[in-house]
Amino acid sequence: MSESVEERIYTVPLSRAWVAPPYRRAEKAISLLREFVQRHMKPEEIIIQPTVNEAIWARGIKKPPRRIRVRLSKDEEGAVTVSLAEAEP
């Protein structure tokens, strides 16, 4: 695995996911997370860790969290890995 060049911790607001129909909210939350990462880190590729996906889907498709705290790590190739901020790096 390549060395991390840049690492940041963000609190990503996901409240706009609640505008979507209830049966699409968790999917919308993932899309919002991807848009946020794209806007702030300008990645070549976005890799979302399974723990982040599970945290968003934990309460089901209808009730994703309003916000999530994540660690964004960019490597030399420009790929950004999204992991939970509280998890070990």
The predicted structure's pLDDT at residue 2: 63
pLDDT band at 5 (very low <50, low <70, confident <90, very high): confident
Using the 8-state DSSP alphabet, how is residue 44 labeled?
A: S
Does the residue 45 lie in any domain? yes
Neighbours of 20 (CB within 10 A): 16
Enclosing domain of residue 16: 4-84
Does the residue 40 lie in any domain? yes
Range 63-72 average pLDDT: 97
Q: Cα torsion for 30, 31, 34, 40, to the nearest 10°?
A: -120
Does the residue 11 lie in any domain? yes
pTM listed for this prediction: 0.92
List pLDDT tens digits, range 30-48: 999 999 999 999 999 999 9
Domain tally, the chain: 1
Does the residue 74 lie in any domain? yes
Does the residue 89 lie in any domain? no
Cβ-contact 9, 71 below 8 angstroms: yes
